[in-house]
Amino acid sequence: MDIKKELIYHEFIQREKEFLRAEYNPELEFYYYVKLGNLNTVKELLKEKFTDKKGLGVLSDNPLQSLKYHFSITAAMLARYCIEGGMDLSDSYSISDFYIQKADKAKTPEELSDLHYSMCIEYTKRMKNLRKKKITSMPVAKAVDYIYDHLHTRITLEILAEHVNLNPSYLSRLFKKEMGVTLNKYIRNKKLMTAQNMLIYSEYSPADISTILAFPSQSYFTEVFRKEFGTTPAEYRMSNMFKSGLGKPENHQ
């Protein structure tokens, strides 16, 4: 089951194409990963070129101009999500303005696609740096990266201490000092954030998600989820059905 859990977790995190539901605004989950600063996942999603995206509406009789309008919408959404994630407002809009101006001068769809890739990567890298803003030591930085890559496993202080070559009690104190939260709480919060996204953008049941993310039991998962978000996993999924498209009317034009 451990191997299967790992495959399922990484399949979800890497967002293979069957999860992308183009007709139901998959960019919402894309922006979520940019906001998290999850560079590996964003790069995986960007394998589909901007100019090849399905479901882009016609915003101009000129195909190139239509793409430029969509580019500007994407830039505005990236700016908004990154501001929500903690990026300085002026910095976020400066990046957006810079790339919109570049896009306005583009002569080909290929140029726009390259600019789109660069813009998304720049926002993601900046958000990743913000995520590690409080981190001043290499061991804590390595621990944070390990946590993000292994949320499908039971992560313990001892495992992390061995990974970063530190005494467990020293790593625990160092992590709390630099991150402002205990190691266990940080891990639990990241698992819960991933669970939120899986409830919206996958069809896995709460029981499956509990197992995939290595919670001790489904009852514990439900308990900590309710305590954190004020609702059960099942209720959260129902209230966010329109985000995923699961509750979208059949005519979604």
Question: Is the residue at 104 inside a domain?
Answer: yes
Note whether 66 and 60 are within 8 A (CB). Answer: yes
- Cα 155 to Cα 67, 147, 216, 240, distances in angstroms: 44, 7, 12, 29
Classify residue 95: in a domain, yes or no. Answer: yes
Count Cβ neighbours within 10 Å for each residue of 159-175 and write b for 16 or more, e otherwise. Answer: ebbebbebeeeebbebb
User: Over the stretch 182-205, which tens digit does the pLDDT of each residue have?
Assistant: 999 999 998 998 898 888 877 889
Rounded to whole angstroms, the Cα distance separating 183 from 10 reads: 22
- In this structure, the answer to whether residues 147 and 240 fall within a common structural domain is yes
- 151 pLDDT higher than 60: yes
pLDDT, greater one: 223 or 48: 223
Range of the domain at 176: 138-244
CA distance 245 to 228: 25
Q: What CA–CA distances, in Å, run from 111 to 104, 106, 134, 247?
A: 10, 6, 36, 37
Instruction: Read off the pLDDT band of 12 (50, 70, 90).
Output: low
| Residue 17 lies inside a defined structural domain of this protein | no
Instruction: Show which of 85, 114, 131 is a domain's final residue.
Output: 131
Q: Which tokens in the block code for residue 198?
A: 């899986």
Total domains present in the chain: 2
Residue 5 has a pLDDT of 59
Last residue within a domain, chosen from 111, 131, 151: 131
Picking from 131, 160, 191, the residue at the C-terminal end of a domain is 131
Nearest to 140 by CA among 171, 182, 184: 171
Element (H, E) at 221: helix 218-229
Arithmetic mean of pLDDT over the chain: 83
User: pLDDT tens digits for 67-114?
Assistant: 999 999 999 989 988 988 888 888 898 999 999 999 999 999 999 999
pLDDT one-digit tens code per residue, 208-239: 999 999 999 999 999 999 999 999 999 999 98
User: Above 80 in pLDDT, residue 130?
Assistant: yes
Q: Residue 46 domain-assigned?
A: yes
